[in-house]
Structure 1
């Protein structure tokens, strides 16, 4: 399913207009990650069935992962760097994931996402941002005529017996925005895991807490089209 340019602009403008995303720096990055980048390597090791790997046909030593998220390229871009107390970045790109089956508008091999990534040296700043994101995004989707329910979630890649899934669920680190039974977005608290892995610190040398919000544009458009079709059908019946 190809998202229309008009609806893509609608979602871009909707998110950019929210105060929780005000002042975000836009980054344009390649979705191609070297396999030896720590987050790419961990993803391939943990979820080999989902990893979309590619090689260089000229230089066989070069191996890459097509990123399954928009935040991985951001962390790759920021690795081994120092910054101020807090900063917010946004990045939109195609993401890629191998699946057992595909369903247009629900589960695709390539899909458009926008993410906002906040990094701060204080946990309170990050958790307050997450709370604001949850409230404002639900309201914004409602203005589009879409009812989003917030649900505590875990990443589907983890085995149900994996301690990482249990920790993520028990600590409520991930919440999904569910529309029509489909998870169309999520907000995730990474704690200090990603900043430590990528050596991203404040100028004072503090490890950052980080969080990200991501919205799957293709899934949102699919739910929007379904809602519009249902409304049109209802209107037609009322005029019979």
Structure 2
């Protein structure tokens, strides 16, 4: 096997995945695996005009959720800048997966609960602790204009949900030369974010559709798989989560599927 895998993810989040992929490729004697990371999204701090850190942190909260590592990172930076002396609420904190849970725990100094097997919003909402939330006050730390599914579900269950938006996303343009280069070098694409996938597919010219249909895909959820055009789903493998271990296992399955197809 001699090919390149394109990982649509920020560099800092891709490095653990790249390391595990390289180790797995060597162990299975799959040859030289090259990886390239590209993020379709630029992340930057966002000053929420609807919230005051001092006032927000002083309020009583039953539970809180930070939707990602970025949410934990920018929450920590902004709290240090604007409310360094105000303690983090003594609430129960939740995360979608273990990576974000570790970042949140380091930020709030408290244990963080996340789903064990699958790491997505549906699995989080299925936790026993989130079934009886009527009357509870929840603080949801997220990006500007983030998904509403989690908040809407909690509100339907009777919770009082408040947002704190701490970062914003901006689409990144891809140079035509880079797309041409990918078409000649890349045989597989890995993506863990719906936003990354949406921006990527939107940026692709129609001339790239044949290449994209020939690639194998590794995605982090069924939701992402459903976002792919039908012709791309032919060689799509869904990982159990966005952790490096789960993504690597899904990649191994995708490679074996490719080999079986050739045989």
Q: Common fold, TM-score beyond 0.5?
A: no
Which protein has the larger Cα radius of gyration, Structure 1 or Structure 2?
2
Higher strand content, 1 or 2: 1
* TM-score normalised over the length of structure 2: 0.26
Question: Where is the helix percentage greater, Structure 1 or Structure 2?
Answer: 2
